[in-house]
Amino acid sequence: MEYIVKFQGHPNVTARHKTTLEITKEPHLTLRGDCIIGVNSSASVYDLPDEIKNKIRKNNRIDFLISVGSFSFSFFGYGHRDLSLSHPTDIVIRKSEFISERTLAIRSSAAAIDLPREIVAILRTGERGELKISVD
């Protein structure tokens, strides 16, 4: 099953965080938000369909594909039974096993700093992008 979240880049995207990657519905981003790669997103973890949430909570592997312009970047993470997936504005993917209401995946193979710098440069122009979430 797949779900696509659309988001917009922002001039303050730095994508320097070493353990997390975040997309938010919020329209603003400060330079302190070094894990945030997109704003004005079309969905948060709360908005995901129940079918996807249920699969994520079964510890399933989650495949991600970020597409911006002609570039794309794929990585993966894992769900967990304790994920509430209840935050109204954010999607956070973590390399760690930390779980909060914002967490979509843990034990991720990538964080914001791992994004190709070409993608980061395009996001800094305000270009729109997509995060494809795939769970079997």
Domain parsing of the chain, residue ranges: 2-135
Per-residue model confidence as pLDDT tens digits over 23-52: 999 999 998 999 999 999 999 999 999 999
The type of residue at 67 is S
User: What is the dotted CATH code of the domain comprising 2-135?
Assistant: 2.60.120.630
User: Which structure tokens are listed for 95?
Assistant: 């390399």
Q: What percent of the chain is modeled with pLDDT above 70? A: 100
pLDDT at 59: 85
CA distance linking residue 48 with residue 57, whole number of Å: 12
